[in-house]
Amino acid sequence: MANTENWERLEQALRREGILDERVLQAMARVPRDLFVPLECHNQAWLNSALPIGQGQTISQPLVVGLMTQALELLGKERVLEIGTGSGYQCAILAELSHTVVSIERIECLATSARDRLTYLGYSNVQVVVGDGTVGHPEKAPYDAIIVTAATPRVPKPLLDQLAETGKLILPVGSHTSQELVLYTKQQRHTTSRRLGTVRFVPLIGKAGWKEREANLLF
């Protein structure tokens, strides 16, 4: 957990931007963000900014983490699928708020370090899988909530197919220059959508996302 001064400053910033779900804020206070960033970034860990974590990836801005998590309206009984484990920070917050989390990371060294970190912190309700997140993880489907922490040009159909009835899927959709955070809700086999604002994420690479070559050229 952050020291009181660091967290209070960040909490005030989050509340000003509309992160008001007390369970989400309490979870973010409990998860030590400084343990999810490289040593050289420790002094910036509690700032409201994205930070590099290696392999061309980033840990998301706390505001974006709060916004995406709040939109899922987790109550504690959900089975959650996360696409893009990264350092494991978002995964830890999801683990605080749901029953189980399956998190998929395509970069093996990031998956390994995130798995070790989450185990060290005592998160026994998390499974980190190395693989193509764009095709989801059908073995544990359906999921009550799916969160994608990388940008895709279109909504991957496998993720919609693995979403439970009344489930929520949140992800950034768009091009390398313009992305919007969109929340999809499945209702009676149909989906409704709500736009939550402009964001900027690294590309979601995989069979149902960006091809690695085009992502390397564009992003």
Q: Which residues are catalytic?
A: 60
Distance of alpha carbon 43 from the chain centroid: 22
| CA 212 – CA 217 distance, rounded (Å) | 9
Q: Please list, in sequence order, all residues whose beta carbon lies within 8 angstroms of the beta carbon of residue 133, skipping any fewer than 6 positions away.
A: 83, 84, 104, 105, 106, 148, 150, 204, 206, 209
Cis peptide before 142 (omega within 30 of 0): yes
- Structure tokens belonging to residue 20: 């008001």
